[in-house]
Amino acid sequence: MGIIEVNSISYEYNAAKDISIAPALKDVSLSIEQGEFLCIVGHNGSGKSTLAKHLNGLLQPTSGNVLVKGMDTKDEQRSLEIKKTVGICFQNPDNQIVTTIVEDDVAFAPENLGIEPKEIRLRVNMALKAVGMESYATSAPHMLSGGQKQRIAIAGLLAMQPEVLVLDEATSMLDPAGKAEVLSIVQRLNSEGITIVMITQYMEEATIADRVIVMADGEIALQGTPKQVFSQAAALRGLRLDVPAVVDLRNRLIAKGMRPTHALNAKDFANFIAEALGVTNGD
């Protein structure tokens, strides 16, 4: 069994109000394995954020159920434990900062859980270190860059010692440097054992995942390894998604009979071309 099991969930935003609109999620099933790096992509309005909010009980399905380590997100007595297990980082870093000093911000959630001050101190230091922000502990969050703010938001989640980190377009408001900072932290946390669910509109980012899920109109339209998903260029275009430029080139080379097997990102592709041309970088 996965660390999170999503069993045939549907969700309607206005179910209570008797307004008939298309459900935001339609019979979605998904098993998230402990330690995996899962990416979710899909056009605007395809249901990605709605699905993300189901992963720690922020939303509860209209039908079906979600189990986090076997705990049903509808079980109110487990809701705190579920929120500790699965942390969600959202798009806008400014909306996630609640205090005027970085370390207070990271301590905010564990304080609300009633954790002892001494233990909180340890966790705050550990979390700030994990995101490379320890020298900013006493800074004012509003003085930080977007990428640094997002790292503080992630530190706040890490202070809860989560097992799963969900990032809902967490890099989309950041400049290229901020995006790269957050991505490298997320990759390192995954290598240390934290399960990652990363929602992104940037197809290139999805190439680093173990598995990619493509949502369309509230349903899972495609899934597989990045290679399996991105080799289906026509299907992706039909779902209003771009194929990353490097992957597009890879697909075209394969159509011509070449075998750039590992070349899903720019670095691998550079190596493939260097090999094909018989040049090495000297190290």
Ligand X SMILES: Nc1ncnc2c1ncn2[C@@H]1O[C@H](COP(=O)(O)OP(=O)(O)O)[C@@H](O)[C@H]1O
Residues that bind Mg ion (CB under 5 A): 48-49
Looking at beta carbons only, is 46 or 148 nearer to ligand X? 46
Examine residue 44 and tell whether it contacts ligand X (CB under 6 A). yes
List the single partner that 195 binds among Mg ion, ligand X, none, CB under 5 to 8 Å by kind.
none
3 state SS of 214: strand
Q: What is the C-alpha separation between 157 and 275, in angstroms, rounded? A: 43
Pairing of strands 195-199, 211-216: unpaired
Q: Give me the residue whose beta carbon is nearest to Mg ion.
A: 49
Looking at beta carbons only, is 42 or 146 nearer to ligand X? 42
Site for ligand X in 46-75 (CB under 6 A): 46-50
- Give the tokens for residue 50: 């709605």
Q: Which helix (H) or strand (E) holds 128?
A: helix 117-130
Inter-residue contact 113 to 160 (CB < 8 Å)? yes
Looking at beta carbons only, is 45 or 224 nearer to ligand X? 45
Contact region for ligand X (CB under 6 A) — 41-49, 57-65, 109-117, 219-227? 41-49
In the complex, minimum distance from the CB of residue 48 to ligand X, in angstroms, rounded to a whole number? 3
Site for ligand X in 5-24 (CB under 6 A): 13, 24
List the single partner that 35 binds among ligand X, Mg ion, none, CB under 5 to 8 Å by kind.
none
The residue from 30, 37, 42, 178 that contacts ligand X (CB under 6 A) is 42
Looking at beta carbons only, is 105 or 168 nearer to ligand X? 168
Q: Give backbone dihedrals phi and psi of 236, rounded to 5 degrees, phi first.
A: -65, -40
Please, is 125 exposed, middle or buried when counting C-beta atoms within 10 Å of its C-beta (0-12, 13-18, 19+)? middle
Looking at beta carbons only, is 48 or 83 nearer to Mg ion? 48
**217 CB-near residues (< 8 Å, 6+ apart):** 22, 26, 46, 47
Strand spans (E) along the chain: 4-11, 25-32, 37-42, 63-68, 71-72, 86-89, 164-168, 195-199, 211-216, 219-224
In the complex, minimum distance from the CB of residue 55 to ligand X, in angstroms, rounded to a whole number? 12
Interface positions with ligand X (CB under 6 A): 13, 24, 42, 44-50
